Amino acid sequence: MNTGIVYDPIYLEHRIGVHVESHERLIGIMDFLEEKKVLENPDFKLISPRAATIEQIRYVHQESLINEVKEVSEVARITGHIQNLDMDTAVCAKTYETSLYSVGGNLNGIDSILNGGVTNAFAIVRPPGHHSNSYKCAGFCIFNNIAIAAEYLFREKNFKRVAIIDWDCHAGNGTSDIFYDGSEYGELVFFDSHQDGRTLYPGTGFINDVGKGAGEGKIINFPMPPRAADDANILFFNEIIAPVCEEFKPEFILISAGFDTHWTDRLTNMGWTYQGPANYLKKIKELAAKYTKDRILITLEGGYEIDKQAKAVYNCLQVLNNNNHLIEEKSRESENDVMNYISNKVIPNLKNSLKPYWNCF
Ligand SMILES: [Zn+2]
Protein backbone atom coordinates (compact mmCIF):
# COMPACT_ATOMS: atom_id res chain seq x y z
CA MET A 1 0.00 0.00 0.00
CA ASN A 2 1.34 3.42 -0.96
CA THR A 3 0.53 6.62 0.87
CA GLY A 4 0.95 10.04 -0.69
CA ILE A 5 2.34 12.99 1.22
CA VAL A 6 1.55 16.31 -0.40
CA TYR A 7 4.07 18.95 0.56
CA ASP A 8 6.02 21.81 -0.96
CA PRO A 9 8.11 24.62 0.59
CA ILE A 10 5.67 27.09 -0.98
CA TYR A 11 3.46 26.41 2.06
CA LEU A 12 6.04 28.19 4.21
CA GLU A 13 5.61 31.40 2.24
CA HIS A 14 2.33 32.34 3.88
CA ARG A 15 4.23 34.19 6.64
CA ILE A 16 2.08 36.20 8.94
CA GLY A 17 4.41 37.40 11.68
CA VAL A 18 4.01 36.27 15.27
CA HIS A 19 0.97 34.06 14.90
CA VAL A 20 0.02 30.59 16.17
CA GLU A 21 -0.81 29.49 12.62
CA SER A 22 2.86 29.79 11.73
CA HIS A 23 4.93 28.26 8.95
CA GLU A 24 6.91 26.66 11.83
CA ARG A 25 4.04 24.18 12.16
CA LEU A 26 4.93 22.59 8.83
CA ILE A 27 8.66 22.81 9.43
CA GLY A 28 8.06 20.87 12.66
CA ILE A 29 6.13 18.16 10.83
CA MET A 30 8.58 17.82 7.94
CA ASP A 31 11.64 17.80 10.21
CA PHE A 32 10.08 15.02 12.27
CA LEU A 33 9.20 12.99 9.17
CA GLU A 34 12.78 13.42 8.01
CA GLU A 35 14.14 12.35 11.40
CA LYS A 36 11.95 9.24 11.18
CA LYS A 37 13.07 8.65 7.58
CA VAL A 38 9.47 8.50 6.39
CA LEU A 39 10.24 9.95 2.97
CA GLU A 40 13.02 7.42 2.42
CA ASN A 41 10.48 4.64 2.82
CA PRO A 42 9.31 3.53 -0.67
CA ASP A 43 5.79 2.99 0.72
CA PHE A 44 5.43 6.77 0.89
CA LYS A 45 5.37 8.99 -2.15
CA LEU A 46 5.97 12.73 -2.08
CA ILE A 47 3.38 14.55 -4.18
CA SER A 48 3.99 18.09 -5.41
CA PRO A 49 1.07 20.48 -5.47
CA ARG A 50 -0.27 22.55 -8.34
CA ALA A 51 -2.09 25.85 -8.20
CA ALA A 52 -5.86 25.36 -8.25
CA THR A 53 -7.65 27.32 -10.98
CA ILE A 54 -9.86 30.29 -10.17
CA GLU A 55 -12.77 28.30 -11.55
CA GLN A 56 -12.11 25.60 -8.95
CA ILE A 57 -11.93 28.17 -6.14
CA ARG A 58 -15.30 29.45 -7.40
CA TYR A 59 -16.83 26.02 -6.74
CA VAL A 60 -17.38 27.18 -3.16
CA HIS A 61 -16.33 30.84 -2.92
CA GLN A 62 -17.83 34.05 -4.22
CA GLU A 63 -15.85 36.17 -6.63
CA SER A 64 -15.70 38.95 -4.01
CA LEU A 65 -13.85 36.71 -1.52
CA ILE A 66 -11.35 35.61 -4.15
CA ASN A 67 -10.72 39.20 -5.23
CA GLU A 68 -10.36 40.33 -1.64
CA VAL A 69 -7.63 37.77 -0.93
CA LYS A 70 -5.85 38.71 -4.16
CA GLU A 71 -6.08 42.45 -3.59
CA VAL A 72 -5.12 42.35 0.08
CA SER A 73 -2.10 40.17 -0.76
CA GLU A 74 -1.12 42.84 -3.29
CA VAL A 75 -1.49 45.57 -0.64
CA ALA A 76 0.79 43.51 1.62
CA ARG A 77 3.32 43.27 -1.20
CA ILE A 78 3.28 46.99 -1.98
CA THR A 79 3.37 48.16 1.63
CA GLY A 80 5.61 45.39 2.96
CA HIS A 81 3.19 44.97 5.86
CA ILE A 82 0.99 42.07 6.86
CA GLN A 83 -2.70 42.86 6.38
CA ASN A 84 -5.75 41.50 8.22
CA LEU A 85 -8.96 40.04 6.78
CA ASP A 86 -10.48 39.77 10.23
CA MET A 87 -9.32 39.78 13.84
CA ASP A 88 -7.22 36.66 13.44
CA THR A 89 -6.86 36.01 9.72
CA ALA A 90 -3.74 37.63 8.32
CA VAL A 91 -2.44 37.98 4.77
CA CYS A 92 1.07 38.57 3.45
CA ALA A 93 2.29 39.23 -0.09
CA LYS A 94 2.39 35.49 -0.85
CA THR A 95 -0.91 34.45 0.74
CA TYR A 96 -3.02 34.45 -2.41
CA GLU A 97 -0.57 32.33 -4.38
CA THR A 98 0.11 29.97 -1.46
CA SER A 99 -3.62 29.49 -0.93
CA LEU A 100 -4.08 28.43 -4.56
CA TYR A 101 -1.38 25.82 -3.97
CA SER A 102 -2.97 24.76 -0.69
CA VAL A 103 -6.17 23.91 -2.56
CA GLY A 104 -4.25 22.46 -5.51
CA GLY A 105 -2.20 20.24 -3.20
CA ASN A 106 -5.41 18.57 -2.09
CA LEU A 107 -6.54 18.18 -5.70
CA ASN A 108 -3.22 16.59 -6.63
CA GLY A 109 -3.64 14.30 -3.64
CA ILE A 110 -6.99 13.20 -5.04
CA ASP A 111 -5.56 12.74 -8.53
CA SER A 112 -2.78 10.57 -7.13
CA ILE A 113 -5.32 8.42 -5.30
CA LEU A 114 -7.46 8.04 -8.42
CA ASN A 115 -4.65 7.32 -10.85
CA GLY A 116 -1.24 8.06 -9.42
CA GLY A 117 -0.44 4.84 -7.63
CA VAL A 118 -1.26 5.81 -4.05
CA THR A 119 -4.14 4.39 -2.02
CA ASN A 120 -4.58 7.36 0.27
CA ALA A 121 -2.85 10.67 0.92
CA PHE A 122 -2.17 13.33 3.52
CA ALA A 123 -1.97 16.92 2.28
CA ILE A 124 0.38 18.76 4.64
CA VAL A 125 -0.67 22.20 3.50
CA ARG A 126 -1.41 25.68 4.77
CA PRO A 127 -3.14 28.05 4.99
CA PRO A 128 -5.93 25.87 6.40
CA GLY A 129 -9.53 26.19 5.22
CA HIS A 130 -12.41 24.89 7.30
CA HIS A 131 -13.53 28.22 8.84
CA SER A 132 -13.91 30.00 5.48
CA ASN A 133 -17.38 30.00 3.93
CA SER A 134 -18.54 31.20 0.53
CA TYR A 135 -18.12 34.89 1.26
CA LYS A 136 -15.80 35.28 4.28
CA CYS A 137 -12.30 34.14 5.23
CA ALA A 138 -12.04 33.51 8.95
CA GLY A 139 -10.17 31.77 11.75
CA PHE A 140 -6.69 31.65 10.11
CA CYS A 141 -8.32 30.13 6.98
CA ILE A 142 -8.26 31.44 3.39
CA PHE A 143 -9.79 29.10 0.77
CA ASN A 144 -11.79 26.13 2.06
CA ASN A 145 -9.53 23.31 0.89
CA ILE A 146 -11.73 20.40 1.93
CA ALA A 147 -14.95 21.87 0.52
CA ILE A 148 -13.29 22.53 -2.84
CA ALA A 149 -11.87 18.98 -2.77
CA ALA A 150 -15.41 17.62 -2.34
CA GLU A 151 -16.77 19.72 -5.20
CA TYR A 152 -13.81 18.62 -7.34
CA LEU A 153 -14.82 15.00 -6.75
CA PHE A 154 -18.42 15.80 -7.70
CA ARG A 155 -17.83 18.09 -10.67
CA GLU A 156 -14.67 16.75 -12.26
CA LYS A 157 -14.41 13.15 -11.12
CA ASN A 158 -18.04 12.06 -11.23
CA PHE A 159 -18.40 11.00 -7.62
CA LYS A 160 -21.94 11.01 -6.25
CA ARG A 161 -21.48 10.49 -2.50
CA VAL A 162 -18.68 11.99 -0.41
CA ALA A 163 -18.23 12.07 3.37
CA ILE A 164 -16.18 14.74 5.12
CA ILE A 165 -15.00 13.96 8.64
CA ASP A 166 -13.70 17.01 10.51
CA TRP A 167 -11.89 16.22 13.76
CA ASP A 168 -10.28 19.63 14.30
CA CYS A 169 -11.06 20.92 17.79
CA HIS A 170 -12.95 23.90 16.37
CA ALA A 171 -16.22 23.45 14.52
CA GLY A 172 -15.73 23.54 10.75
CA ASN A 173 -18.24 26.34 10.37
CA GLY A 174 -17.10 27.31 6.89
CA THR A 175 -17.51 23.79 5.55
CA SER A 176 -20.84 23.47 7.34
CA ASP A 177 -22.11 26.76 5.83
CA ILE A 178 -21.00 25.78 2.34
CA PHE A 179 -22.82 22.43 2.44
CA TYR A 180 -25.69 23.40 4.74
CA ASP A 181 -28.18 23.29 1.84
CA GLY A 182 -26.37 20.37 0.21
CA SER A 183 -24.44 20.51 -3.05
CA GLU A 184 -25.96 20.76 -6.50
CA TYR A 185 -23.51 18.20 -7.80
CA GLY A 186 -23.56 15.31 -5.36
CA GLU A 187 -24.56 14.12 -1.91
CA LEU A 188 -22.35 15.09 0.98
CA VAL A 189 -22.43 14.12 4.65
CA PHE A 190 -20.39 16.29 7.00
CA PHE A 191 -19.40 14.73 10.33
CA ASP A 192 -18.00 17.44 12.57
CA SER A 193 -16.67 16.66 16.05
CA HIS A 194 -15.41 19.59 18.06
CA GLN A 195 -15.22 21.21 21.45
CA ASP A 196 -18.68 22.55 22.37
CA GLY A 197 -19.27 25.92 20.70
CA ARG A 198 -20.39 27.42 24.02
CA THR A 199 -16.80 27.08 25.18
CA LEU A 200 -14.74 27.69 22.03
CA TYR A 201 -14.43 29.63 18.78
CA PRO A 202 -16.34 29.79 16.41
CA GLY A 203 -19.30 29.14 18.74
CA THR A 204 -21.24 27.03 16.25
CA GLY A 205 -21.89 23.36 15.42
CA PHE A 206 -24.75 22.32 17.68
CA ILE A 207 -26.73 19.10 17.61
CA ASN A 208 -29.84 20.65 16.09
CA ASP A 209 -27.93 22.23 13.22
CA VAL A 210 -28.63 19.42 10.78
CA GLY A 211 -28.68 21.23 7.44
CA LYS A 212 -31.67 22.11 5.29
CA GLY A 213 -33.12 21.42 1.86
CA ALA A 214 -30.96 18.84 0.08
CA GLY A 215 -28.52 19.04 3.00
CA GLU A 216 -31.10 18.26 5.68
CA GLY A 217 -29.90 15.49 7.98
CA LYS A 218 -26.46 15.53 6.38
CA ILE A 219 -24.75 18.03 8.67
CA ILE A 220 -23.86 16.00 11.76
CA ASN A 221 -22.34 17.81 14.71
CA PHE A 222 -20.78 16.19 17.74
CA PRO A 223 -20.08 18.95 20.27
CA MET A 224 -17.87 17.63 23.06
CA PRO A 225 -17.54 19.14 26.50
CA PRO A 226 -14.08 20.40 27.44
CA ARG A 227 -11.68 17.69 28.67
CA ALA A 228 -13.18 14.98 26.45
CA ALA A 229 -10.37 12.60 25.53
CA ASP A 230 -9.58 9.98 22.88
CA ASP A 231 -12.49 7.73 23.86
CA ALA A 232 -15.15 10.36 23.05
CA ASN A 233 -14.59 10.27 19.31
CA ILE A 234 -14.49 6.48 19.24
CA LEU A 235 -17.98 6.57 20.74
CA PHE A 236 -19.07 9.10 18.09
CA PHE A 237 -17.66 6.81 15.44
CA ASN A 238 -19.34 3.65 16.71
CA GLU A 239 -22.71 5.22 17.51
CA ILE A 240 -23.10 7.72 14.67
CA ILE A 241 -20.52 7.66 11.88
CA ALA A 242 -20.46 3.90 11.27
CA PRO A 243 -24.26 3.40 11.07
CA VAL A 244 -24.79 6.53 8.94
CA CYS A 245 -22.05 5.47 6.53
CA GLU A 246 -23.53 2.00 6.31
CA GLU A 247 -26.65 3.67 4.97
CA PHE A 248 -24.96 6.46 2.99
CA LYS A 249 -22.18 4.37 1.46
CA PRO A 250 -19.68 7.14 0.72
CA GLU A 251 -17.47 6.67 -2.32
CA PHE A 252 -14.68 8.87 -0.99
CA ILE A 253 -13.73 10.01 2.52
CA LEU A 254 -12.17 13.42 3.05
CA ILE A 255 -10.80 14.36 6.45
CA SER A 256 -10.24 17.82 7.90
CA ALA A 257 -7.56 16.90 10.39
CA GLY A 258 -6.77 19.36 13.14
CA PHE A 259 -4.37 18.42 15.89
CA ASP A 260 -5.50 21.11 18.31
CA THR A 261 -7.46 18.51 20.31
CA HIS A 262 -4.21 17.59 22.07
CA TRP A 263 -4.44 18.05 25.83
CA THR A 264 -1.60 20.59 25.83
CA ASP A 265 -2.90 22.73 22.94
CA ARG A 266 -2.77 26.40 23.85
CA LEU A 267 -6.00 27.38 22.09
CA THR A 268 -8.34 24.64 23.29
CA ASN A 269 -9.39 22.56 26.29
CA MET A 270 -9.62 18.98 25.13
CA GLY A 271 -7.91 15.83 26.35
CA TRP A 272 -6.58 13.94 23.32
CA THR A 273 -3.18 12.26 23.19
CA TYR A 274 -0.98 12.39 20.10
CA GLN A 275 -1.99 8.82 19.26
CA GLY A 276 -5.69 9.76 19.59
CA PRO A 277 -6.21 10.97 16.00
CA ALA A 278 -4.44 7.90 14.59
CA ASN A 279 -6.62 5.52 16.60
CA TYR A 280 -9.69 7.36 15.33
CA LEU A 281 -8.29 7.13 11.81
CA LYS A 282 -7.96 3.34 12.18
CA LYS A 283 -11.74 3.17 12.57
CA ILE A 284 -12.29 5.50 9.60
CA LYS A 285 -9.95 3.34 7.57
CA GLU A 286 -12.16 0.30 8.22
CA LEU A 287 -15.04 2.25 6.69
CA ALA A 288 -12.91 3.23 3.71
CA ALA A 289 -12.01 -0.43 3.17
CA LYS A 290 -15.71 -1.28 3.12
CA TYR A 291 -17.10 1.55 1.01
CA THR A 292 -14.51 3.74 -0.69
CA LYS A 293 -11.91 1.30 -2.04
CA ASP A 294 -9.64 2.62 0.74
CA ARG A 295 -9.78 6.13 -0.70
CA ILE A 296 -9.04 8.70 2.01
CA LEU A 297 -7.60 12.17 1.58
CA ILE A 298 -6.58 14.01 4.74
CA THR A 299 -5.98 17.74 4.76
CA LEU A 300 -4.25 19.60 7.57
CA GLU A 301 -6.32 22.16 9.47
CA GLY A 302 -5.21 23.44 12.92
CA GLY A 303 -2.77 22.24 15.61
CA TYR A 304 -0.64 24.63 17.60
CA GLU A 305 1.72 22.57 19.73
CA ILE A 306 4.32 21.98 17.08
CA ASP A 307 6.06 18.92 18.56
CA LYS A 308 2.81 17.16 19.51
CA GLN A 309 1.30 17.86 16.10
CA ALA A 310 4.37 16.42 14.35
CA LYS A 311 4.01 13.15 16.29
CA ALA A 312 0.26 13.02 15.67
CA VAL A 313 0.74 13.53 11.92
CA TYR A 314 3.45 10.87 11.87
CA ASN A 315 1.07 8.46 13.63
CA CYS A 316 -1.70 9.17 11.11
CA LEU A 317 0.70 8.50 8.24
CA GLN A 318 1.60 5.15 9.81
CA VAL A 319 -2.05 4.18 10.02
CA LEU A 320 -2.73 5.31 6.44
CA ASN A 321 0.14 3.06 5.42
CA ASN A 322 -1.18 0.02 7.34
CA ASN A 323 1.47 0.24 10.02
CA ASN A 324 -0.10 0.38 13.44
CA HIS A 325 3.15 0.93 15.28
CA LEU A 326 2.52 4.36 16.79
CA ILE A 327 4.51 6.74 18.92
CA GLU A 328 2.48 6.80 22.10
CA GLU A 329 2.24 8.86 25.22
CA LYS A 330 0.39 7.80 28.39
CA SER A 331 -3.18 7.01 27.38
CA ARG A 332 -5.96 9.34 28.48
CA GLU A 333 -9.61 8.62 28.94
CA SER A 334 -12.37 11.11 29.56
CA GLU A 335 -13.26 11.56 33.21
CA ASN A 336 -16.52 9.96 34.31
CA ASP A 337 -18.57 13.16 34.40
CA VAL A 338 -17.47 14.04 30.86
CA MET A 339 -18.16 10.56 29.47
CA ASN A 340 -21.50 10.33 31.26
CA TYR A 341 -22.57 13.62 29.73
CA ILE A 342 -21.55 12.43 26.26
CA SER A 343 -23.17 8.98 26.59
CA ASN A 344 -26.37 10.11 28.30
CA LYS A 345 -26.95 13.48 26.70
CA VAL A 346 -24.96 14.24 23.56
CA ILE A 347 -25.25 10.91 21.75
CA PRO A 348 -28.98 10.27 22.49
CA ASN A 349 -29.89 13.87 21.59
CA LEU A 350 -27.91 13.62 18.38
CA LYS A 351 -29.59 10.35 17.42
CA ASN A 352 -32.92 11.93 18.14
CA SER A 353 -32.28 14.91 15.90
CA LEU A 354 -31.03 12.63 13.09
CA LYS A 355 -33.88 10.13 13.40
CA PRO A 356 -36.07 11.69 10.69
CA TYR A 357 -33.29 11.30 8.12
CA TRP A 358 -31.58 7.99 8.81
CA ASN A 359 -33.24 4.59 9.22
CA CYS A 360 -30.45 3.42 11.54
CA PHE A 361 -31.76 5.67 14.32
ZN1 LIG B 1 -8.82 24.25 15.11
pLDDT in tens, 233-274: 999 999 999 999 999 999 999 999 999 999 999 999 999 999
pLDDT band of residue 213 (cuts 50, 70, 90) is very high
Q: Is the pLDDT of residue 35 over 90?
A: yes
pLDDT band of residue 324 (cuts 50, 70, 90) is confident
Q: Cα-flanking dihedrals φ and ψ of residue 99, to 5°?
A: -65, -35
131 noted as active-site residue? yes
CA atoms within 13 A on the CB side of 203: 1
* Mean pLDDT rounded to a whole number for the chain: 97
Q: What is the dihedral of CA 129, 135, 139, 142, to 10 degrees?
A: 40
> What is the pLDDT, as a whole number, of residue 169?
98
245 to 61, 148, 275, 353: CA distances (angstroms): 28, 21, 24, 17
- Ligand 1 centroid from CA 89, angstroms: 13
pLDDT band of residue 59 (cuts 50, 70, 90) is very high
Q: Is the pLDDT of residue 107 over 80?
A: yes
Contacts of 104 (CB under 8 A, 6+ apart): 49, 50, 51, 52
Q: What is the DSSP letter of 239?
A: I
The pLDDT tens digits for 122-174 are: 999 999 999 999 999 999 999 999 999 999 999 999 999 999 999 999 999 99
Average pLDDT over residues 15-27: 96
The closest alpha carbon to 254, from 221, 301, 203, 198, belongs to 301
- Ligand 1 centroid from CA 170, angstroms: 4
- Ligand 1 centroid from CA 227, angstroms: 15
343 to 72, 218, 308: CA distances (angstroms): 46, 21, 28
- Ligand 1 centroid from CA 41, angstroms: 30
Are the CB atoms for 229 and 136 separated by under 8 Å?
A: no
257 to 40, 92, 313, 316: CA distances (angstroms): 24, 24, 9, 10
Domain boundaries, the chain: 3-354
The closest alpha carbon to 129, from 160, 166, 154, belongs to 166
Instruction: Give the global pTM.
Output: 0.98
- Ligand 1 centroid from CA 209, angstroms: 19
β-strands 83-86, 89-91: how paired? antiparallel
> What is the pLDDT, as a whole number, of residue 1?
77
Q: Which of 14, 61, 130, 131 is catalytic?
A: 131
- State the fold for domain 3-354: Arginase; Chain A (3.40.800)
The closest alpha carbon to 270, from 298, 315, 232, 241, belongs to 232
Contacts of 87 (CB under 8 A, 6+ apart): none
